[in-house]
């Protein structure tokens, strides 16, 4: 098997780097990052500048490899490097309960086609896409099944792929967070080798994270909307009854609920509200890592990083 230190990946719609943390834990190297939000970019650079020499190794590299607007990136240019795996948690609002559910007819929805453009131009060996579960059943106002469009486009781009409905709580963290993972490969051999990882037991309890007893085994889904809406509100995601009293969680608890490694932190100039928004937009690292490990295995790559149990 090829060691995964030779495996490279791109991190599109990167947020604060949940995909990056997962692949870093397995020993893979990030080679290209795209994130437009300036506050999220601060958090990303703060955590990965010293860990990603292929992105931040020089001013020239960073200019071309830590970019903002993906729509302005020329995927045919040498400035955008080839990678083994393309990762993208593309914008979910067009498909979620929080948005207007316009899907690919909304501007943010069309960003999927930037992913497609890069897949066609750079032809990575594999891809790992993430979105809300609403994507699977989404129908546009025009009556178009969004997933049918996505499936057809990915197939025409030359990929074999599968879709997986994944809960973060099935991979060690006490947070529900149901998400759709779309895993694809350019070769049928790799696709046939890929197997979804089995669920694992919770590695930490909600009570341990919150520092007291709570009646919930698994926490609410961290999300951008609903902050401060109250413990009895169905939109709530940041308030729990702990030892009989309401407790509003902060970034430290949020990082643990998303399974980020212990070395991950927010810069001092990123506000609490910005940090919580960034956490709500992120992926659950252990769930992504479990699937990333299986992607590497299917490709014949050896995961040689520290792994989630040693972070």
Q: How many CB atoms lie within 10 A of CB 263?
A: 10
Beta-carbon contacts of 6 under 8 Å, excluding residues fewer than 6 positions away, are 301
CB atoms within 10 A of CB 141: 11
3-state secondary structure of 105: helix
Task: Name, in order, each residue with C-beta under 8 angstroms of 85's C-beta and a sequence gap of 6 or more.
Answer: 7, 8, 9, 10, 23, 28, 124, 125, 126, 127, 128, 295
Tell me whether residue 87 is one of the annotated catalytic residues: no
For the record, the structure tokens of 277 come out as 């928004």
H helix and E strand count, the chain: 11, 11
> 144 is written with which tokens?
């178009």
Q: Which of 12, 14, 26, 92 is catalytic?
A: 92
Strands (E), the chain: 2-3, 8-12, 29-34, 66-67, 85-88, 126-132, 160-167, 178-185, 239-242, 245-248, 301-302
| Residue 156 exposure: Cα atoms within 13 Å on the Cβ side | 9
Report which DSSP code applies to 171.
B
Spatial contact of 136 and 146, defined as CB atoms under 8 Å apart? no
Structure tokens at 100: 């207007």
Q: What is the CA radius of gyration of the chain?
A: 19
d(CA 115, CA 3): 27
Just list the catalytic residues: 92
């Amino acid at each position: 098997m090829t060691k995964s230190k030779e495996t490279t990946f791109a991190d599109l719609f990167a947020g604060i780097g949940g995909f990056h943390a997962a692949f870093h834990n397995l020993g893979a190297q990030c080679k290209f990052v795209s994130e437009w939000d300036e506050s999220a970019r601060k958090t990303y650079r703060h955590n990965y500048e010293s860990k990603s020499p292929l992105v931040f190794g020089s001013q020239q590299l960073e200019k071309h490899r830590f970019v903002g607007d993906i729509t302005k990136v020329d995927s045919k240019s040498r400035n955008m490097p080839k990678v083994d795996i393309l990762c993208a948690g593309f914008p979910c609002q067009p498909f979620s309960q929080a948005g207007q559910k316009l899907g690919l007819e909304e501007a943010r929805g069309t960003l999927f086609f930037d992913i497609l453009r890069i897949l066609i131009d750079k032809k990575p060996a594999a891809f790992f896409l993430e979105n809300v579960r609403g994507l699977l059943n989404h129908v546009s106002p025009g009556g178009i099944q969004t997933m049918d469009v996505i499936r057809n486009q990915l197939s025409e781009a030359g990929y074999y792929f599968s879709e997986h409905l994944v809960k973060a709580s099935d991979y060690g963290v006490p947070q529900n967070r149901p998400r759709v993972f779309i895993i694809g490969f350019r070769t049928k051999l790799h696709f046939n080798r890929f197997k979804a990882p089995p669920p694992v037991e919770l590695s930490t309890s909600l009570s341990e994270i919150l520092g007291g007893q709570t009646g919930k085994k698994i926490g609410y889904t961290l999300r951008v909307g609903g902050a401060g809406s109250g413990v009895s509100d169905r939109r709530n995601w940041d308030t729990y009854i702990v030892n009989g009293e309401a407790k509003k969680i902060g970034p430290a608890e949020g990082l643990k609920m998303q399974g980020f490694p212990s070395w991950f932190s927010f810069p001092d100039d990123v506000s609490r509200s910005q940090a919580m928004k960034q956490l709500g937009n992120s992926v659950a690292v252990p769930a992504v890592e479990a699937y990333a490990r299986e992607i590497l295995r299917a490709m014949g790559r050896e995961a040689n990083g520290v792994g989630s149990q040693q972070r």
